[in-house]
Copies of this chain bind each other. A is one copy, B any other.
C-alpha cells in the first residue's frame, strides 16, 4: 500500500507550540515514509524539565508538512513510540460534574476541593513502567498503576481555513482523548489542506475510558511517529488500526451522535474492503465493539471496533484503510 523510498528519520525539537489546530506555518517538511522523533509538552505547557514553556491548553507540536499531501487524501500516522520524558505527571481528582447524575452533583458530597483545584501529582517511572499517586492525603503506595501512554490530541489542519482550539475534536481528529491511540496504533486522518499539517500533543501516561476527571495523567513525552500518504480515496472520520483491530472514530455531542458517526464510518470501511453492504450490517450487528474515548471535552469521542481476525474469517484482505 505504501510507496517505500529512502525513509528518513527526523529529530525535531519544538521551540514553539500552538493551542489551535490550523494552517499554521509548518515546522518541518517530511515525506511519506518518513519518521519523526519529537517531544510534546503536557496539557499545561510544561516540558521535560517541568517548566512552563508555553501557555496551557493542550499545546501542539508541529504542524508537520507532508510533501504531496492534498485535500481529499488520507494521512496515515503510525505511533511508533510514546514515552513520558519526565518523572512527574498530574491529574485532576474529581469526576467532572457533567459526567455524573445532576442530582448527585447537587448533593455536593465532596470533601472540600473542587474538581478544578488541587491537581494531584503522580511519579512516573518509565523503568518500572508505573505511575504512583503522590498525595499528602493518601499514604505512599496507595495507588500504583501500569503506564499505558497515549496521544490525547492530534490531527490535521481542519477544513475551510479554520484554526480550532486543541480542546475539541471533529473530522480532522483533535482532542479525542482515546486511550487506544497508543504505540503500535496507526491512525488515518482526512487531509483538508496542502501538506496535511499534522499536529500532536497532550500525551497521557495513562487514562481511563472517557477521561472523566478531565485529564489523564498529563505528562511531557517523546513521541516517534511515521507518516504515509494515501491518495485516490478519502475518509469521512478518523480511522485507525492496530495488530488486532480496525476502528473508526466519531466526535460529537451527545455520545449518541458520536456513535452514529463511528458506526456509519465503519459500514463504509467494510464496504470499501469489499464486503457486501448487507453483510457488513449483519457482521457489525453481532460482532461490533464500542469503546468510549472521552465524555469530557466539548466533543465526545466514541470508537467503533472490529477484530481483524473476524474480517479475515470472512475472507477480507486488509488493504487498509
A102–B101 CB distance below 8 A: no
A208–B284 CB distance below 8 A: yes
Q: How far is the CB of A20 from chain B (nearest CB, A)?
A: 6
Q: Does A60 contact B (CB under 8 A)?
A: no
Which residues of B sit under 8 angstroms from A108, Cβ to Cβ? 106, 108
Q: How far is the CB of A309 from chain B (nearest CB, A)?
A: 11
Q: Does A49 contact B (CB under 8 A)?
A: no
Considering only CB atoms, which chain B residue lies closest to A98 in the complex?
B102
Q: How far is the CB of A206 from chain B (nearest CB, A)?
A: 5
Given contacts A142-B279, A277-B111, A295-B259, contact A213 B285 (CB under 8 A): yes
Considering only CB atoms, which chain B residue lies closest to A215 in the complex?
B285
Q: Does A190 contact B (CB under 8 A)?
A: no
A101–B264 CB distance below 8 A: yes
Chain multiplicity (copies): 4
A92-127 CB mask vs B (1 if < 8 Å, else 0) is 111111111111111011110111000010000000
In-complex Cβ contact of A314 among B104, B143, B160, B216 (8 A): B143
Q: Does A283 contact B (CB under 8 A)?
A: yes
Q: Does A76 contact B (CB under 8 A)?
A: no
Q: Does A61 contact B (CB under 8 A)?
A: no
Query: How many residues of A sit at the interface, in one of the four size bands?
Result: 35 or more
A263–B212 CB distance below 8 A: yes
A137–B95 CB distance below 8 A: no
In-complex Cβ contact of A212 among B109, B208, B288 (8 A): B288
Which residues of B sit under 8 angstroms from A91, Cβ to Cβ? 282, 285-286
In-complex Cβ contact of A281 among B95, B255, B261 (8 A): B95
B252–A253 CB distance below 8 A: yes
Residue with the greatest number of chain B CB neighbours at <10 A, chosen from A95, A113, A145: A95
Considering only CB atoms, which chain B residue lies closest to A205 in the complex?
B286
* Interface stretch (choices A28-36, A66-74, A78-86, A162-170): A162-170
Give the residues from 136 to 178 in chain A that come closer than 8 angstroms, CB to CB, to chain B.
Answer: 137-138, 142-145, 159-165
Which residues of B sit under 8 angstroms from A133, Cβ to Cβ? 282
B161–A164 CB distance below 8 A: no
Which residues of B sit under 8 angstroms from A255, Cβ to Cβ? 254-256, 259
Considering only CB atoms, which chain B residue lies closest to A120 in the complex?
B282
A95–B267 CB distance below 8 A: yes
Which residues of B sit under 8 angstroms from A288, Cβ to Cβ? 208-210, 212
Considering only CB atoms, which chain B residue lies closest to A103 in the complex?
B97
How far apart are the CA atoms of A48 and B26 in the complex, in Å?
39
In-complex Cβ contact of A259 among B99, B103, B120, B160 (8 A): B99
A284–B164 CB distance below 8 A: no
Q: Does A233 contact B (CB under 8 A)?
A: no
Q: Does A19 contact B (CB under 8 A)?
A: yes
19 of the cross-chain contacts (CB-CB < 8 Å) are A93-B278, A93-B281, A95-B285, A99-B260, A99-B263, A105-B105, A106-B108, A108-B108, A137-B278, A138-B279, A161-B163, A162-B162, A207-B286, A209-B289, A210-B259, A211-B285, A255-B259, A259-B295, A290-B292
